[in-house]
Chain A
Amino acid sequence: MQNEKDLTPGQLELESALGKLRPSQGVVNRDQLMFRAGISAGRKRNRRWRFLTMILTVALGISVLYRPTAWTIEKNQYLTTAPQQSVHPLVSTDFIRTQRKSGYGSANYIKLRNKVLTDGIDALPQRNFSYGTTEPPMTRRELLRMMLST
């Protein structure tokens, strides 16, 4: 740093004038700035919540107006297990035991039987759709004609 004794009168005057200068007050106060930042962040969150609430309200209205029909869980009455084994009556019980698998089918029969005993035959599981054919069956002649023509 230069020694003050070396300064020219002009420099000294400049030094004095600079010393009188004071930093100006900020346009935005720190507290105000933090406050405004907080408000802005809150507004963004609010918009998100409002949007979500609106969506949920619309969904609520739809669910009130439109009730989906109850699902009918069709229990397959065909008790399927392992592929049917034809068991010779003289076959040992060991063989029968290893070949047969009990499980869903067996439990299903017992539960179904007990339910029908208590609740009647309406407790039987029912199909909701029939896959039968509406076409009359072919006669023998029609079938023969079709097979011979191909």
Chain B
Amino acid sequence: MNRKYFCFFVIIAVMVSLAGIRPVPSNTSKDKESIRVIEMTITPAGEPTEALKYKLMPSFIDQTPGNAAIFYLMAIERQPHGDRKELRDKINDWLKISVDELPRQESKNIINSFSLAFRQLDRAVLCEQCDWQTPVRTEGFSALIPPLSEFRHLGKVLALQVRLQIADGKYNEAIHTLQNGFTMARHVAENPILIGDLVGIGIATLMYREVEQFIQAPDSPNLYWALSALPRPFIDMRRAMECERDIILMEFPELRDLETKKLTQQQASTLANDMFSRLSELGVGDMPNEQLGAAAWVMLQYHNARAYLIEHGRSPDQVEALPVAQVVLLYQLKEFIHIRDQIFKWFNVPYLQAKDGLKKAEDYFNQYVSKTRKKMTPNYFLDFLPALGRAYYLMARLERNIDILRCIEAVRMYAADHNGQLPGSLDDITKVPVPPDPLTGKMFSYKIVDGKAVIESILTPDDDPKDSSRYELTVRK
């Protein structure tokens, strides 16, 4: 009988362990793979006769009054019906292979199924404005945001369309589709919240990778001035940062007049209880002592809060006249604003100048959070702050991607003027300015290796090698 029990449990154990096996998803965003190498066979291409003939954003003259958001939502509505996952996986695979390997008919069928959606996109990108009307000022974090993942999906389909057009040699159509993609990226980033900017950067990145394909296509026109004409910074995060900076006051409007208003004891306690429970609901950060409740949280902080307010200009009598809860909330708010502004101020200078100061401010922030949590006196408002250094880096990285492509187009221009010869160094290129790397302030690394021109950005400590690129250019014979 013991043997039978043993067999039974062995079987159960084996079943449970086998049923629990799932394929482990690869987290490529964290893998430290080697740098991305793109081998390009380029055709020399000079400046077009009409230097600004090609554009990657619609011209002013072609734009129409109107709100693009309406047409974007209609485009989403008009996407083809069906299994999205299979389609997504297919497109992801095709965007990894070269233009020549693309299964033409199958990809054309997919693009054709999006014709209704693209018709709306064509109208959207020509609109002068894009107002998503996100009610973030009145609703804070709860505001309904547009379906951002839908735009990312549309961006991938557009990227596929560009690739197909390049494969067919339809360069003008490819440029038109690139216009749609780049414009959509900026329009999505018109959302006043940070996540909208991040999606905009993602869509712009999809498009810049198709520009890489375009540059390699035989006899493709030179896009130096088209890339130079793109608005800079392409995705400007300052408006989103303004919103993120004050979103806590939008979420907790009671804090706006806390400094000037004198609450009663009852009002202050109610406010503290209410805020504490809402912070718990929001579930931001780690709240190990949430069981203590608002009253305990207030009492733990009061001594520090009182000292802080006296140190910062109030008399002891003024502080003692305020309810205990108000003193603590005021202290938390002022500390939060101080630390917040130490970080946010760096968004007002270019990334290259900001990055060291931003890092110091974020290090101070992390140390402050760690110290106060150990003492059981955390400032929960600080949990609302995003990783701003990372956000700013992503914006700057997009700028670098655009500039390195300008550099490559400058090389193609030189080669066109010098019978297909590659420049010995970037200083040899005098017809157009060669941009520096905005992340380092230095010129991109350029050297000739075995007859190939190798252009790459010098890695910074923030760079993930997988996200950096090395371009190896060979002139097509």
Contact = CB atoms under 8 A, between A and B. Distances in A.
Nearest to B114: A132
Contact of B198 (A93, A102, A117): A117
A102 B116 CA distance: 37
B29 A122 contact: yes
A97 interface: yes
Contacts of B7: 53
Contact of A93 (B27, B141, B254): B254
A96 interface: yes
A40 interface: no
Residue from A81, A85, A112, A127 with most neighbouring chain B CB atoms (10 Å): A127
Given A56-B8, A102-B251, A129 B83 contact: yes
Interface residues of B, number: 69
Contact of A107 (B27, B139, B283): B283
Interface stretch (B18-26, B208-216, B303-311, B317-325): B18-26
Interface string B47-89: 0000000000000000000000000000011111111110010
B195 A120 contact: no
B195 A112 contact: yes
A79 interface: yes
A3 interface: no
Contact of B282 (A56, A97, A110, A118): A110
Contacts of B194: 113, 117
Given A122-B29, A124-B149, A133 B139 contact: no
Nearest to B76: A132
B360 to A, nearest CB: 19
Contact of A56 (B12, B21, B138, B201): B12
B101 interface: no
Given A46-B4, A132-B79, A77 B149 contact: yes
B81 A93 contact: no
B150 to A, nearest CB: 8
Given A53-B8, A70-B22, A84-B139, A130 B251 contact: no
B266 to A, nearest CB: 13
Interface stretch (B123-131, B351-359, B383-391): B383-391
B278 interface: yes
Contact of A84 (B19, B135, B387): B135
B187 interface: no
A121 B188 CA distance: 13
Given A107-B281, A113-B386, A127-B149, A57 B11 contact: yes
Contact of A64 (B18, B22, B82, B278): B18
A107 B81 contact: no
Contact of A59 (B15, B29, B30, B80): B15
Contacts of B116: 136-137
Interface in B373-412: 384, 386-387, 390-391, 394
A46 B8 CA distance: 12
A20 to B, nearest CB: 50
Interface string B117-157: 10000000000000000010011111111011110110000
A63 B141 contact: no
B190 to A, nearest CB: 16
A109 B81 contact: no
B29 A120 contact: yes
A139 to B, nearest CB: 13
B80 A124 contact: no
Contacts of B15: 56, 59-60, 63
B16 to A, nearest CB: 10
Given A120-B29, A129-B83, A77 B77 contact: no
Nearest to A114: B386
B251 A106 contact: yes
A70 B23 contact: yes
Contacts of B1: 42, 45
A128 B83 contact: yes
Nearest to B135: A84
A141 B143 CA distance: 38
B149 A93 contact: no
A74 B410 CA distance: 46
A24 to B, nearest CB: 38
Contacts of A101: 142
Nearest to A123: B29
Interface of A: 42, 45-46, 49, 52-53, 56-57, 59-60, 63-64, 67, 70, 72, 77-82, 84-87, 93, 96-97, 100-103, 105-107, 109-114, 116-122, 124-134, 136-137
17 contacts: A42-B1, A45-B1, A53-B4, A70-B22, A80-B144, A96-B138, A97-B254, A102-B251, A102-B281, A103-B142, A103-B281, A113-B193, A116-B195, A121-B199, A130-B79, A132-B78, A132-B80
- Please list the 10 inter-chain residue pairs (A to B) with the smallest Cβ-Cβ separation, ordered nearest first: A121-B202, A106-B141, A124-B149, A132-B79, A81-B142, A87-B138, A93-B253, A105-B142, A128-B85, A109-B141
